[in-house]
Amino acid sequence: MSHYHLKSADAFQKAYQASVDHPEAFWDKIAKNNFIWQKHWYKTFEWDQKNTHIKWFLGGQLNITENLLDRHLIHNADKTAIIFEPNNPDEPHQEISYADLAKSVNKMANVLKDQGVQKGDRVCIYLPMIPELAITVLACARIGAIHSVVFAGFSSSALAARINDCQCALVVTSDGGFRGPKTIDLKSIVDQALENCPVVQRTLVVARTHQKSDMVPGRDLWLKPLFDQASDQCPATTMDAEDPLFILYTSGSTGKPKGMVHTCGGYMVYAAYTFKNVFQYAEHNIYWCSADIGWITGHSYILYGPLANGATTLMFEGVPSYPDFGRFWAIIEKYKVTQFYTAPTAIRALAKESLDFVSPYNLSSLKVLGTVGEPINEEAWQWYFKHIGGGKVPIVDTWWQTETGGVMIAPLPRITPAIPTYATLPLPGIQPVLLDDQGQEITETEASGLLFIKHPWPSIARTIWGDHQRYVQTYFGAQTDKYMTGDGATRDAKGNYRITGRVDDVIIVSGHNLGTAPIEDAINEHELVAESAVIGVPHSIKGNSLFGFIILKGHPDSEENLKSAINQCITQHIGPIAKLDEMVFTPGLPKTRSGKIMRRILRNIAQKNFDALGDTSTLLNPEIVAELIQVMQKKH
């Protein structure tokens, strides 16, 4: 029996049971029957728990682009692979067929090869949401180069750190990008970054905004002439199932971002499988995920998952508020979108606006609504269900992470029940467990605890680029036989999971995963700052807002100017997404005797929950609590 497309609750239950009873046989069959491999694997799964080496489909050979492109050319060459909706609704959109996408990918692959890029080399992609971004990602995959896409909202220092960490010799960027009413000068951000990246030999520049760009002789080349001349034929490089496909950076609890490494075989199988089932994608559907390809959601569910299934996937360059707050709904109507996947923060921001932005549009094409990136609150869920889904379109609240490669816990639309605020049930292959603070597995069904996953699934990240030890410690340090998610969760009597949020020093702001450490490092760069602590405070639209407690080592002329200078430091080192919403200057920070900042106390103080501080007498500096309360009371 094929478990690839689950069409009923019964099929789901059988698949789930099979995946737990015999994980290897389960994935073996799915991988064999639904993908093109150049060579079959000799072993389905290997897990060296001592060294934390996880492998799937060992010895199998493939090229993922043959599964994403070539195989669809036989019957579906003219089918639209990518719809590109530009930022400006008056600019013509593009519908790129599978045949044209394959040609462009081959051309780009040849351009990269001509520039000396070889299998295993790292290529940094810093582009706005334009077709060239998709094409470059796939071109890397075509020739076995490892892509590292950096979200084009990151600053030059963040970009430089990511380029240097995995030693990219080539960067693909654009002159600029359109985002709502703004034009962003991407090329000069790259120029600044590259001052600190001696490893980069070449940048290829896409002309998008046609603003003036300084082209560095010997380093920078416009892409178009090279692309136009390149052949549209390029053989797919043979890859081992376990060869890296891409690196994607995510925040961690130290300042250094973690370059999560995903591999060709397992990632392909899991991204494709989950796309098919979580969105119940059917022929002729028009699927739209509003994420940016700079995040894992865009990798797995704009490109790899949809294209592996021969789907039509929409890429949107702009923002939900431009030219007005009806843009998302206008796009759904324009293309008769059937599956729409977005973030709770976007839903909350749009729900705050008048329903007059929704009501003009015909949204009756929708069959599935999805959310991802953070817990969705009941109110936002209900608004989405009622006003976008017309009270009848199922919502899939999908829980997963950069590290997991694909959706882990989610309902299957019209197959398993959706429950507001719950990601509900694990997908086949996923075995969640809850642990208590002592690391013991909680056996009662109804419980709260730390969320771990028992058996590796095909698309688990294999390592952190250049730092396997950090990977081991972060994800398998607590339990060598279980993956630690870093999230807390509760489970109801029927086994449904509700994710309650991060239990570590990562804060999710507007769906972006931000580590407190890199933000604090950026704040501390300011010459007047001695030390700082950043915490998350619940926020009605962003999920969390960032609140900074800052110790100064001098006197500012103006506190207001200092606050904007500190935010400027953050913008420079990370990007505007990490700016503080609020900050206070304090004489000290509450610390344990071992010198660790007590963030729990700061969180309560920031929210003025002064009664919830608990026993503070064991602090190294208990007197600071009263001073902090005073600082907060003075703040209006």
Q: Which residues bind ligand PRX (CB under 6 A)?
A: 250, 296-297, 372-375, 397-402, 423, 485-487, 499, 501-502, 508, 513
Nearer to ligand PRX, 393 or 589 (CB): 393
Looking at beta carbons only, is 65 or 459 nearer to ligand PRX?
Answer: 459
What is the secondary structure of 8-30 as a DSSP string? SHHHHHHHHHHHHH-HHHHHHHH
List, as own/partner pairs, every contact residues 408-413 make where C-beta atoms lie below 8 angstroms and the sequence separation is at least 24, other chains included.
Answer: 408/432, 408/453, 408/457, 409/497, 409/499, 410/278, 412/6, 412/12, 412/277, 412/278, 412/280, 413/278, 413/279, 413/280, 413/367, 413/368
| Closer CB to ligand PRX, 103 or 258, in the complex | 258
Cβ of residue 399: shortest distance to ligand PRX, in angstroms? 4
Nearer to ligand PRX by Cβ, of 32 and 454: the residue is 454
In this complex, which beta carbon is closest to ligand PRX, that of residue 89 or of residue 488? 488
The least CB distance from residue 228 to ligand PRX, in Å, is 36
Which C-beta is closer to ligand PRX: that of 220 or that of 397?
397
Residues paired with residue 170 on neighbouring β-strands, in sequence order:
123, 202
Residue 494 CB, shortest distance to ligand PRX, in Å, is 18
In which residue are the tokens 């796939």 written?
A: 138
**Nearest residue to ligand PRX on Cβ basis:** 402
Kind and range of the H or E element at 484? strand 483-491
Identity of the residue numbered 67 = N
Helix axes 264-278, 23-34, angle to 10 degrees: 90
Q: How far is the CB of 259 from ligand PRX (least distance, A)?
A: 13
Residues comprising the chain, all counted: 636
CB of 341 to ligand PRX, least distance (A): 11
Closest distance between ligand PRX and the C-beta of residue 248, in Å? 9
- What is the SS3 assignment for 559-623? HHHHHHHHHHHHHHHCCHHHCCCEEEECCCCCECCCCCECHHHHHHHHCCCHHHCCCCCCCCCCC
DSSP alpha helix (H) spans, 409-507: 468-476
Q: Is residue 550 within 8 Å of residue 566, measured between CB atoms?
A: yes
Of 318 and 370, the one with the shorter C-beta distance to ligand PRX is 370
CB of 278 to ligand PRX, least distance (A): 11
Please say which residue, 244 or 326, places its beta carbon nearer to ligand PRX: 244
Is the Cβ of residue 372 or residue 418 nearer to ligand PRX in the bound state?
Answer: 372
Distance CA(170)–CA(167), nearest Å, equals 9
Shortest spacing between CB 424 and ligand PRX, in angstroms: 10
The answer to whether 483 touches 456, Cβ cutoff 8 Å, is yes
Q: Which is nearer to ligand PRX, 144 or 511 (CB)?
A: 511
Shortest distance, CB of residue 293 to ligand PRX, whole angstroms?
13
Tokens of 626: 């009263």
Nearest 5°: phi and psi at 177? -145, 150
Phi, psi of 86 (to 5 degrees): -70, 165
The distance of closest approach from Cβ of residue 486 to ligand PRX in the complex, given in angstroms and rounded to an integer, is 6
Residues 6+ apart with CB under 8 A from 516: 253, 505, 506, 507, 533, 534, 535, 599
Any bridge partners for residue 409, and if so which? 399, 426
Q: CB–CB of 586/628 below 8 Å?
A: yes
For residue 301, the minimal CB distance to ligand PRX (Å) is 9
Q: Which of 357, 471 has the CB closer to ligand PRX?
A: 471
**Cα–Cα distance for residue pair 395/234, rounded to 1 Å:** 41
